[in-house]
Chains A and B, each alone.
Chain A
Amino acid sequence: MAAPTLAERRPEIFLAVLLSLCLVTLSLQVRRPGGRTVGEGWLLTAVSPFVDLVTSVRSGIHEVGTWAMSRRALRVENRALTAEVAALHGELLRLRDAEEDKRRLLELFGAQPSPPPGTIPARLIAVESSGPFHTALLDRGASDGLHLDGVVLARGGLLGRVIALGPRTARVQLLSDSTAAVGVLLTHGTRGGRMAVAKGDGKGSVSVEYVPAIEPVEPNDTLVSSGTDGVYPGGLPVGRVASVRRNKTLFWEIQVSAAADPHGESLVFVLPPVRKSDVTSGSSVAERH
């Protein structure tokens, strides 16, 4: 049986054409809830794969181009960020160090948040205490604003005074030096202080002499600088009484536990030297500033 020819298929072709025309006409009239006609919907559905293909190719090319361009920029940015991170890391370390310094400063001055004007922070880079002369070396000198007889404070209290100056360094005489002495007020309980002199014994500690045995002195009595010696201002913690012993004379033999330990301190503060006008009044650090 032979297949029908195109002419024999004429009615079917005619039917298909007419029905298609009707469908197209109908689809252009019917509107769906979205506002589109059915024909538009069919058309969009039919062409959507091609639209997707073109969009995908276009976005792919765009992404490749962007990736190639941004890769170089990212490298440069990465290098810059690495350098910035390193700089910030250094800055962080510096700030941590500064925070530690600030904490120590606050501990040193108690309720006084800012140090007196002219106070210079310095690092204690060496302590010499093997012989009778006990000294320490600071990393600041005359070019940093330090002066002879500058008062050196540590976190716990008075440490000593500047006895020699270099451009970048300074030598400090510690209180434990055998030639060092400081006028103190020995306070017992709630009683007012009694004037005395604390001296270094050259062995790493401090003792107080010439306190009459009739005076009540007990361990843990506090000693602060009196400000009458012309070197140290008044009110600075010097130490506590460690032991009290009566010798053959009329005076107590008092051993003092120094408030500041030079071996345990790395940061100190150097106050300006005491002015002569402050000596007579025996003013304290707080009063001076």
Chain B
Amino acid sequence: MKPLRVAVGLSLAVLATLALGALNMPAPPDFFLLVVADMARGGAAVPAMLAGLPAGLLQDGLFAPGRLLGLHAFSKILIGYLLATVGARTVVEKPVAVGGLLMGAVLVEAATLTFLIWVLTGDFLPPAPWLLAARAATTGLLGGLLYAASRVPWKQRREARRRVRLN
């Protein structure tokens, strides 16, 4: 089930990124990071890294400037490992904590990308702070909301409503 979940998640991430790009949103959330974070839940490092690889490659292929295939793959694999490690050693239950964790992941990924570009090309290109902050905020907010939504017992509520209607 997990590969299918990853494939669906990545497809949605592509669609959402394209849609927000069409809307000229200055700092859209990192939807690919959300897919990786989803796979890292419960401390599963290898599935998280395996999800990070195609997510990063897709991001590179579709959106990365300079067409450096593997740049986001590197960072996404690293982020997947870190999120899984944190998830395995700590109990993150509240959506706010998840949102904060995702914000931190965005910052770490930006630092990783900046470092990689500097090592590979010799150019030190840090992102604009306010853009980075906005991207981290939107990603954390969306991640927290999605996490909160995923914790709602939708089936039980639907069953309860159906039983009320029948009675």
Contact = CB atoms under 8 A, between A and B. Distances in A.
A18 B68 contact: no
Contact of A15 (B45, B73, B121): B45
B98 interface: no
A81 interface: no
A30 B45 CA distance: 29
Given A11-B81, A15-B78, A15-B81, A22 B46 contact: no
B34 interface: no
B77 A29 contact: no
B78 to A, nearest CB: 7
A11 B84 contact: yes
Contact of B49 (A11, A25, A32): A11
B74 interface: yes
Contacts of B49: 11, 14-15, 18
Interface in A1-43: 10-11, 14-15, 18-19, 21-23, 25-27, 29-30, 32, 38
B45 A26 contact: no
User: A-B pairs with the 5 shortest C-beta distances?
Assistant: A11-B45, A22-B74, A25-B70, A22-B70, A30-B120
A29 B121 CA distance: 10
Contacts of B35: none
Interface of B: 45-46, 49, 52-53, 56, 67-71, 73-74, 77-78, 81, 84-85, 116, 120-122
Given A18-B52, A26-B71, 4 more contacts: A14-B46, A22-B73, A22-B77, A25-B69
A38 B81 contact: no
A10 B70 CA distance: 22
B84 A26 contact: no
A13 to B, nearest CB: 10
B142 to A, nearest CB: 26
Contact of B68 (A10, A19, A29): A29
Contacts of A15: 45, 49, 77-78, 81
Interface in A201-233: none
10 contacts: A10-B46, A15-B49, A18-B52, A18-B77, A19-B77, A22-B70, A22-B73, A22-B77, A27-B120, A30-B121
A203 B121 CA distance: 109
Contacts of A11: 45-46, 49, 81, 84-85
B69 A29 contact: yes
A117 B49 CA distance: 112
Nearest to A31: B121
B105 to A, nearest CB: 15
Nearest to B122: A32
B41 to A, nearest CB: 15
A22 B67 CA distance: 14
A21 B45 CA distance: 17
B12 to A, nearest CB: 23
A11 B68 CA distance: 25
Contact of A26 (B77, B85, B120): B120
Contacts of B71: 22, 26
A11 B80 CA distance: 11
Contacts of A25: 69-70, 73
Contacts of A32: 122
A32 B120 CA distance: 9
Contacts of A30: 68, 120-121
Nearest to B72: A22
Contacts of A26: 68-71, 74, 116, 120
Contact of A18 (B53, B69, B84, B120): B53
A38 B71 CA distance: 14
Nearest to B45: A11
A11 B70 CA distance: 19
